[in-house]
Amino acid sequence: MTQANYLWAPAPVHSLPVRGSDVRLPVRRIFCVGRNYYAHAVEMGRPVDKATMSPFYFLKDASALVDSGATVPYPTGTSNYHFEMELVVAIGKPGFRVDEANAHELIYGYGAGLDMTRRDLQLIAREQGRPWDLGKNFEKSAVCTEIVPAVGAEVLNVGAIKLQVNGVTKQSADLSMLIWNVREIIADLSKFYHLEPGDLIYTGTPEGVGAVKPGDHISGHVDGVGDIVLTIGQAE
């Protein structure tokens, strides 16, 4: 077979460590759920009524991934750089139009993630009816721990999710407070996309989001998954 020649080296495969394994999980797409905890939707000024509303999504490039433990520079173009602590689901099998009852079959494992956000740019886009990319999909904005393989048909539906900045608690909630739980999100997302191994789903953040500045140290935790840390460096 002839090997293709490229003008320059193709972009690297972005990947995450897997707990208890030497191999890494290659990441394909990063889906993020918007407004998936009631109190966070309220603090963003956009309450959610599950009876009449559907979940919505935005994406981040896999190239935005950063391993837990990193120091990231304060991003350009913002003066309101926010943390959002989230449960991350790693998809391990393909699925399209999946039933909630079978959704667990797609799950490879879980991570703890930070959906870092240029909140000022996101809100400008929101108010002007523009895409959220400048606020959400930027370099080093998707922080994630190693992936913890799921056991059997287990689906994470309960457990503490919390975040501290410089040792002060900012977010403290429970996965049971997700508006659309993991099964519901996988079933709904698979109506719109053919889910594939390596797809990640950031499931949304609880209330208490806020700004960080250079020198701040973020530490987060999801029960049954693990701890995430991120240090904010000086602006580039």
Residues forming contacts to Mn ion in the complex (CB under 5 A) are 84, 115, 205
Residue 86: what residue type?
A: E
- The letter for the amino acid at 105 is E
Dihedral angle over CA of 174, 175, 176, 179, nearest 10: 110
3-state secondary structure 143-204: EECCEEECCCCCCCCCCEEEEEECCEEEEEEEHHHECCCHHHHHHHHCCCCCECCCCEEECC
| Min dist. Cβ of residue 202 to Mn ion (A) | 6
Contacts of 68 (CB under 8 A, 6+ apart): 112, 143, 144, 145, 146, 227, 228, 229, 230
Query: Nearer to Mn ion by C-beta: 56 or 96?
Result: 56
Closest to Mn ion by CB, 57 or 74: 57
In whole angstroms, how close is the CB of 40 to Mn ion at the nearest point?
8
**18/162 with CB nearer Mn ion:** 162
| Residue 84 vs 199, nearer CB to Mn ion | 84
Nearer to Mn ion, 18 or 116 (CB): 116
Residue 140: left if φ>0, alpha if ψ -120 to 50, beta else—which one?
Answer: left
Supply the minimum distance, in Å, between the C-beta of residue 6 and Mn ion. Answer: 34
CB of 161 to Mn ion, least distance (A): 12
**CB of residue 195 to Mn ion, shortest distance in Å:** 19
Nearest-angstrom CA–CA distance, 186 and 110: 13
Q: Which residue is nearest to Mn ion (CB)?
A: 115
* φ, ψ dihedrals at 157, nearest 5°: -125, -5
Nearest approach in angstroms of CB 179 to Mn ion is 13
By beta-carbon proximity to Mn ion, the closer residue of 115 and 188 is 115
85 by Cβ neighbours in 10 Å (0-12 / 13-18 / 19+) ranks as buried
